[in-house]
Amino acid sequence: MRIIKLAFQNFFRNLPLSLTSILIMLLMLFSLSFLSIINILAQETLNSFKDKFDLSVYFKQNVDENQINLFRSELENMVEVKEVHYITPQQALEQFKSKHQDVLTQKSLEELNDNPLSSAITIKLRDPNDYNTVFNVTQKPEFSALIQDQDFYDYQQIMDAFNKFNKKIHYVGWAFSGLFVFIAILVIFNTIKLGIWAQEKEIKIMRLVGATSWFVQGPFLFEGFLYGFIAWILNALIIIPLITYAQPYIKQFFELDFSLLDYLKNNILSFGGGFLLFALIVGILASGAATKKYLRA
């Protein structure tokens, strides 16, 4: 209790420096929190893209149904394929009409005696990275002769571009976070150092009356603990209302059926606890470095 009392005395004795230390640690935690949130959203966006990822194969007119069934069976037996959906020519026509409601298109279709559309297959993969494996099946001679067209775009390039962009954001984010960590350690180090200088006579007296190194250093270490804890509290008070306010816009912008606030609630120990532990470690390490340098036993 004596150590805690002395720590609070040091905290309020150098209040402007203490508040500066807390502010720097708050910026550090906020930048790390923002980076983590961006990472979570990027991962959810990528997962959503994978769920929506499908490929379409359009067959030629009047293709034998048995050949199509053989092609479907080949795809359905592949471990890389999650789902194969067959679309009849009539279903394809109905889908086309529903997408093109303009009068000119509808009248043009009425003028045709026959259905101009052929059957098709949509393929959903378990992992978009298996795109090339499925594509190679469609290139087999016995199957390529059935196919009129396909939308096998190189989705792998899209995913690679997305991952590269995400990595660049991470590099910038980690650079800023690393800068704030360094500044936080430096500011806390100097704050504790000034506190030690201000109490130089008191420390000498405590040494003379037999105070242990832990009793002398304890208040300064706990002071660093306070900086980290208060910064963590303030960061939570900023992040939670901010996410609550931004949640509808996040859903709309990223087109995700995903609640970031619920995710953080379900992972409060790993997310909130991790940041608390990191803040305390930074505060205590900076204080420990200052006490070790200026309070040698």
Phi, psi of 37 (to 5 degrees): -65, -40
DSSP letter at 113?
S
The pairing of beta strand 120-125 with beta strand 81-87 = antiparallel
Q: Averaged over 282-294, what is the pLDDT?
A: 76
What's the pLDDT score for residue 230? 92
Burial-class residue 125 by CB neighbours within 10 Å (0-12, 13-18, 19+): buried
Burial-class residue 31 by CB neighbours within 10 Å (0-12, 13-18, 19+): buried
40 neighbors 136 (Cβ within 8 angstroms): no
294 neighbors 193 (Cβ within 8 angstroms): yes
pLDDT value at 235 more than 80? yes
- Other Cβ atoms less than 10 A from the Cβ of 177: the count is 20
Chain-centroid distance of CA 73 in Å reads: 38
What six digits make up the tokens of 133?
A: 């494996």
% of the chain exceeding 70 in pLDDT = 77
191 neighbors 198 (Cβ within 8 angstroms): no
DSSP letter at 159?
H
What's the pLDDT score for residue 297? 47
Write the single-letter amino acid at 267. N
Per residue in 134-143, pLDDT (tens digit) is: 878 878 888 7
Q: Averaged over 69-98, what is the pLDDT?
A: 81
Residue range(s) occupied by CATH 3.30.70.3040 in the chain: 61-145
Q: What is the CATH number of domain 61-145?
A: 3.30.70.3040
- Other Cβ atoms less than 10 A from the Cβ of 54: the count is 16
The 10 Å CB-count burial string (b at 16+, else e) for 105-114 is: eeeeeeeeee
3-state SS, one letter per residue, for 164-184: HHHHHHHHHHHHHHHHHHHHH
Question: In the chain, which ranges are E strands?
Answer: 54-59, 81-87, 120-125, 147-150
Q: Provide the whole-model pTM.
A: 0.66
**Sheet (strand 120-125) strand order:** 81-87, 120-125, 54-59, 147-150
Nearest alpha carbon to residue 7 among 284, 281, 247, 231 = 284
279 neighbors 273 (Cβ within 8 angstroms): no
Which residue reads 């002398």 in tokens? 216
Q: What is the mean pLDDT of the chain?
A: 77
Return the top range by mean pLDDT from 49-58, 127-136, 252-261, 278-287: 278-287
Per residue in 168-188, pLDDT (tens digit) is: 777 777 787 778 778 777 877
pLDDT value at 234 more than 90? yes
pLDDT value at 29 more than 50? yes
DSSP letter at 59?
E
β partners of residue 81: 125
What's the pLDDT score for residue 158? 67
Q: How far apart are CA 158 and CA 131, in angstroms?
A: 12
